[in-house]
């Protein structure tokens, strides 16, 4: 017959409702002959083992544990079979008989005062006997054929190093006998339990029910094995650590082996061996979502992405043995592994450099101290003579592994793995890769493990590249930026796998922290009704979340106090993006320290919007320098406010009145002196000079201020009123320029010798700076390549949306550097 094997785990059989669901699920698939292999009801095996331990220690609570289990199973039978009294009575009698036997066994342990392994296996296997009888009875109540098989009547095993080895010939004879003597189209079979070749009661070990499923598939020459659990299938990563983990639709046996060994708890690696031997496809399915096709595992697999999934083993320790005395000495590795083998300490990962100067092994954390002590005894002589320098234990380690058949022969997989870890600021303790290239494993600190897992997952495009973003300064530019980020978030996630989470907003006194991130409805008021006092340390800690791989802080203030924090943020791996000019033009020592940190660290500092708002001024300058050009001179109009004023300044117009109108329209700072003083333009010039490698500061820039010194200490209103007294002087300069067919423009100039000037200049009417839109900025780069015809960058240089757009572009550049597909 055409056999299909279905195996159901404990979570699928947790109670009467679940058992009824399973019965109806298999009944709906009665077009094939079925072998239904079952685990114990959820938690029952653990309860039986706890009762055995209590009985062996003469703890009387074992009786109440057993009674609770008896009542649970009898109540389940009642719920399943209450409309079939005869079948209910028969089933309850069978269940009671099982519990009488269990009571006798546990009483024996109490008398003996110990729990022999064979007794524990006999007791722990009763859970499967009980659940199989319940499912068989429910199927019969539904009018379905259900022949009960105790797997101990079929499976014969012998001890082996890994779990147990099946005696295939003996088991096949037993199976063939049952098929001949008790033919049926559906068998309900106990998982987990078996007998040794000598006929003694045994089990396949914990997680042995999955193994039972594929064993019976081989004995029945089944066409498929369906392992039903409470998840949709194997996922690309642990969903508790990576919520974006995706269902893996198709894997090869080898890929599944690797993922299962490295912690994919859905299936035990041993469970696939019998299916592999006979090339039987295995499906991992969700009992409670049977419409989902789940994960198919077969010999072919599916090419797809080179990396199919990422898994890991936690609660580990790393032991490093190092010393020059090991170099070229045969047998060192053999001594290490023989000693650990004798101590029955499992080694999960091995790494050795070709220099042979060090060997490291990763072992379970509980065995770490013992393993180190054993190795110190083995190498006592070498340690005494300093041939081995030390044997060090590093606790709290997790092994992460990337798995995929497509990795074989694919260049760049390892590079992408380590680049993803580096960008997330993760230190790798050890590395291991087999010659098959199907698995690359790294050991990392447990504290970094979740961040590392998410970074790797995103790095191989298995999930969104996630950035945890904090915004400081929700003024006009900051609020515009928040609107732009929130409005674009869904599109970026859909089209570029980029998940921008704006998780914090802070003003000069308050802050708002949002764990999932702000939503679109927050875009008009990102700070909201925040009442938490500003604490920049707490804000940075919140943004630099261990559960998210990348952190970005955006400073939209004009505060030197915030700029003072950049170095510390960069040192801890937080990327900084800003239109704030203080760090780039302020204290030279601070600037140099930031630059040194950028050279040795992984975090980025992006500041394109400090010069020219959204115009690519700094990027253009960097492109010229990086491609080997020499910048001779830079001239530019860097103030949208001053561009606006001198574009509108005509004879008969009051300059003071223009300033007042511009302030009312929002084209100036709240205090127009901040624009008229020229300091802001000078800061931009210093930023460009430092980008050219020139060591200058604000004091080195000759600045012509348009704010009269006599009004420096006046209030804003008094300044605006008193400015009219200087209209005549400004009108005189305008008339003098026009008499020469010139225009007035506020120009910043810098040459390659570091000479810098900011001043109001009279320019010819045909000059490139003479004909600008109202608030345009313009920059002319005269270089060796562009000596006679300067390279011009021109466009809007003022306005919150424009500046915010420049900052947003910097954020996206950082995201691209982190692996986003833009």
Q: Which residue intervals of 125-252 are DSSP H helices?
A: 126-141, 168-181, 208-219
- Which of 7, 41, 44 is closest to 210 using CA atoms? 7
User: 202-228 b/e with 16+ CB inside 10 Å = b?
Assistant: bbbbebbbbbbbbbbbbbbebebbbbb
Place of tokens 């292999």: 37
Neighbours of 259 (CB within 10 A): 29
Neighbours of 18 (CB within 10 A): 20
Sheet holding 465-472, edge to edge: 532-533, 510-513, 498-506, 465-472, 550-555, 575-577, 605-606
Report which secondary-structure segment, H or E, holds 314: strand 309-322
Rounded Cα gap, residues 121 and 810, in angstroms:
63
Strands 358-364 and 309-322: antiparallel
φ/ψ of 698, rounded to 5, equals -60, -35
DSSP-assigned states of every residue in 755-782:
-EEEEEEEEETTSTTSS--TTEEEEEEE
Four-residue CA torsion sign, 509, 515, 518, 521: negative
Which position among 7, 581, 684, 761 bears the catalytic label? 684
Find all residues with CB under 8 Å of 93, minimum gap 6, and list them.
Answer: none
Place of tokens 């039972």: 212
Tell me the angle at which helices 800-817 and 476-496 cross, rounded to the nearest 10 degrees.
Answer: 40
Place of tokens 């099982």: 98
Is 308 catalytic? The answer is no
- Which of 630, 612, 651 is closest to 737 using CA atoms? 651
819 touches 459 (CB < 8 A): yes
Sheet holding 701-703, edge to edge: 701-703, 756-764, 742-751, 631-637, 776-783, 791-796
409 touches 360 (CB < 8 A): no
Rounded Cα gap, residues 125 and 193, in angstroms:
6
Rounded Cα gap, residues 282 and 36, in angstroms:
14
Tell me the angle at which helices 16-27 and 61-81 cross, rounded to the nearest 10 degrees.
Answer: 50
φ/ψ of 789, rounded to 5, equals -135, 90
Find all residues with CB under 8 Å of 81, minimum gap 6, and list them.
Answer: 87, 88, 91, 137, 138, 141
Rounded Cα gap, residues 697 and 768, in angstroms:
28
Neighbours of 408 (CB within 10 A): 12
Active site members: 684
């Amino acid at each position: 017959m055409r056999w299909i094997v279905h195996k159901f785990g404990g979570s699928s059989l947790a109670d009467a409702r679940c058992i009824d669901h399973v019965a109806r699920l298999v009944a709906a698939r009665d077009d094939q002959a079925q072998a239904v292999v079952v685990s114990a009801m959820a938690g029952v095996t653990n309860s039986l083992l706890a009762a055995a331990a209590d009985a062996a220690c003469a703890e009387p609570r074992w009786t109440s544990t057993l009674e609770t289990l008896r009542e649970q199973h009898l109540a389940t039978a009642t719920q399943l079979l209450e409309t079939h009294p005869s079948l209910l009575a028969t089933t309850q009698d069978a269940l009671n008989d099982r519990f009488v036997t269990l009571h006798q066994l546990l009483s024996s342990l109490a008398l003996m005062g110990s729990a022999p392994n064979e007794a524990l296996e006999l007791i722990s296997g009763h859970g499967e006997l009980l659940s199989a009888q319940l499912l068989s009875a429910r199927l019969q109540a539904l009018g379905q054929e259900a022949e009960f098989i105790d797997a101990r009547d079929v499976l014969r095993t012998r001890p082996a190093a890994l779990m147990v080895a099946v005696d295939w010939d003996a088991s096949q004879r037993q199976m063939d006998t049952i098929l001949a003597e008790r033919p049926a189209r559906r068998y309900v079979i106990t998982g987990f339990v078996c007998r040794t070749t000598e006929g003694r009661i045994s089990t396949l070990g914990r997680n042995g029910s999955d193994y039972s499923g594929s064993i019976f598939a081989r004995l029945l020459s089944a066409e498929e094995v369906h392992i039903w659990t409470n998840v949709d299938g194997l996922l690309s990563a642990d969903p508790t650590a990576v919520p974006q983990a995706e269902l893996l639709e198709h894997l090869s046996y080898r890929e599944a082996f690797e993922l299962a060994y490295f912690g994919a708890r859905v299936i035990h690696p041993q469970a696939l061996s019998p299916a592999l031997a006979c090339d039987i496809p295995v499906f991992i399915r969700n009992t409670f979502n049977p419409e989902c096709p789940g994960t198919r595992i077969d010999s072919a697999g599916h090419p797809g992405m080179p990396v199919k999934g990422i898994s890991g083993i936690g609660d580990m320790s790393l032991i490093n043995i190092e010393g020059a005395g090991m170099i070229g000495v045969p047998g060192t590795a053999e001594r290490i592994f023989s000693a650990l083998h004798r101590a029955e300490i499992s080694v999960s990962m091995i790494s050795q450099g070709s220099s042979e100067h060090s060997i490291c092994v990763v072992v379970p954390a509980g065995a770490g101290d013992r393993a180190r002590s054993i190795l110190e005894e083995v190498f006592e002589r070498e340690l005494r003579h300093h041939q081995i320098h030390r044997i060090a234990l590093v606790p709290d380690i997790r092994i992460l592994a990337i798995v995929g058949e497509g990795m074989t022969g694919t260049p760049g997989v390892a590079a992408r793995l380590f680049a993803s870890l580096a960008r997330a600021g993760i230190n790798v303790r050890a590395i291991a890769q087999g010659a098959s290239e199907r698995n690359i494993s790294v050991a990392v600190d447990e504290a970094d493990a979740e961040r590392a897992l998410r970074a790797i997952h995103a790095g191989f495009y298995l999930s969104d590249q996630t950035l945890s973003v904090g915004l400081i300064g929700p003024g006009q530019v900051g609020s515009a930026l928040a609107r732009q980020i929130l409005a674009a978030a869904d599109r970026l996630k859909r089209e570029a796998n980029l998940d921008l989470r704006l998780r914090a907003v802070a003003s000069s006194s308050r802050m708002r922290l949002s764990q999932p991130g702000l939503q679109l409805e927050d875009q008009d008021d990102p700070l909201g009704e925040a009442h938490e006092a500003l604490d920049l340390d707490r804000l940075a800690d919140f943004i630099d979340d261990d559960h998210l791989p990348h952190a970005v802080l955006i400073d939209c203030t004009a505060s030197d106090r915030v700029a003072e924090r950049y170095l510390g943020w960069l040192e801890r791996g937080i990327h900084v993006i800003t239109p704030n000019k203080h760090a780039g033009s302020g204290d030279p020592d601070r600037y140099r320290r930031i630059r040194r940190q950028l050279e040795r660290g992984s975090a980025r500092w992006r500041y394109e919007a400090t010069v020219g708002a959204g115009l690519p001024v700094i990027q253009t300058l960097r492109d010229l320098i990086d491609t080997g050009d020499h910048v001779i001179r830079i001239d530019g109009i860097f103030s949208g406010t001053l561009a606006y004023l001198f574009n509108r300044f005509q004879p008969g117009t009051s300059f003071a009145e223009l300033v007042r109108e511009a302030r009312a329209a929002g084209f100036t700072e709240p205090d127009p002196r901040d624009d008229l003083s020229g300091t802001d333009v000078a800061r931009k010039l210093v930023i460009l000079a430092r980008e050219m490698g020139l060591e200058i500061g604000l004091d080195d820039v000759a600045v012509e201020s348009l704010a009269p010194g006599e009004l420096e200490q006046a209030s804003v209103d008094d300044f605006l009123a008193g400015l009219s007294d200087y209209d005549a002087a400004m009108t005189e300069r305008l008339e003098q320029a026009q008499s020469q067919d010139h225009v007035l423009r506020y120009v910043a100039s810098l040459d390659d010798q570091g000479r810098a000037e900011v001043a109001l200049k009279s320019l010819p009417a045909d000059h490139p700076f003479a004909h600008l839109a109202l608030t345009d900025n313009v920059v002319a780069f005269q270089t060796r390549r562009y000596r006679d015809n300067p390279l011009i960058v021109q466009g809007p240089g003022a306005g919150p949306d424009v500046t915010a757009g420049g900052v947003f572009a910097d954020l996206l550049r950082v995201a691209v550097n982190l692996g986003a597909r833009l």
